Every structure is written in C-alpha cells, then in structure tokens.
C-alpha cells in the first residue's frame, strides 16, 4: 500500500474525537482525510444534529479544502467509529462528482484499510447523471 494511505489514516485518526457538543449535536464519530491534487491533506469530522443540518466528515474535509483554495481531489479515506474504513455516502459521492465533473472517475477511495482495498469513485458511481 502506498505511504499516502497511512498518512491519510493517521490524519483522520488525529481529528476523530467523538464528543457531545450540546444535547442536540455530536461530532467526531466519523473522521475523514482527503488528499488534494496539490498533495496537501485536509481533514474533517462528522457533525450530527437532531435535524438535517449536520454534515458528513468527507464533505466537511472537502469544504476545508475549498476554503483553502483547492478543488481537485486525489484520494479519500473515511474512518468509522470502530476504526474501520468505508465508502463515502451517496451525498458525499454526489458532491465529489459535482466538484469534478468529467474528472471524478479517478478519485481513489479507501474501502478497507486492513485489507488494502481501494476503488475509484468511478467504480462506486459509474453512471452519474445519466
């Protein structure tokens, strides 16, 4: 496995800190790390709310990337509460495809860190906006 995946895993682990923000908001159960085209790593955590105002860790990391002036993604790693990795949800996949239409297919996604299983966003989302 390429060294960058360990860097992404460690970056996500460093910000994952499950906590209660208020009686209606929790954060940090899921953490994400994204490698931008520049090679810079951006992180984010999920913010879960009592209504639909929350945000996934992956989109939080992408928003951080955009805030810093970048908009091209190379790799995405999402770290679940139990320490495993998983694919981004449909909303996060949709955001990535809209962020990089015509170029999203090659974004690499870590599905299973322990088994070193990596897929592309094109494999996960083959027929976007048919």
- Residue 96: the pLDDT is 96
- Residue 98: the pLDDT is 94
- Residue 127: the pLDDT is 81
- Residue 1: the pLDDT is 86
Percent of the chain residues topping a pLDDT of 90 = 93
Q: Model-level pTM?
A: 0.94
- Residue 45: the pLDDT is 98
- Residue 39: the pLDDT is 98
With a cut of 50, which residues of the chain have pLDDT below it? none
Rounded Cα distance, 64 and 120, in Å: 22
Say if residues 110 and 120 touch (Cβ distance below 8 Å).
no
* β-bridge pairing 108-112 and 73-79: parallel
Query: What are phi and psi for residue 122, nearest 5 degrees?
Result: -60, -35
DSSP code string of 91-117: HHHHHHHHHSTTTGGG-EEEEETTTTE
Number of helices (H) and strands (E) in the chain: give both, helices first: 4, 7
Question: Helix (H, G, I), strand (E, B), or coil: what is residue 36?
Answer: strand
- Residue 126: the pLDDT is 85
Say if residues 33 and 11 touch (Cβ distance below 8 Å).
yes
- Residue 130: the pLDDT is 55
- Residue 112: the pLDDT is 97
């Amino acid at each position: 496995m390429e060294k960058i995946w360990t860097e992404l895993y460690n970056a996500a682990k460093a910000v994952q800190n499950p906590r209660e923000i208020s009686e209606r908001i929790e954060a940090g159960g899921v953490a994400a790390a994204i490698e931008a085209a520049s090679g810079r790593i951006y992180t984010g955590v999920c913010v879960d709310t009592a209504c639909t105002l929350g945000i996934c860790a992956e989109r939080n990391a992408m928003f951080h990337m955009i805030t810093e002036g970048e908009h091209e993604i190379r790799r995405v790693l999402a770290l679940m509460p139990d320490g495993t990795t998983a694919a981004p949800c449909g909303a996060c996949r949709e955001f990535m495809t809209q962020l990089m239409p015509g170029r999203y297919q090659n974004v690499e996604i870590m599905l299973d860190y322990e088994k070193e299983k990596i897929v592309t966003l094109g494999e996960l989302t083959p027929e976007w906006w048919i």
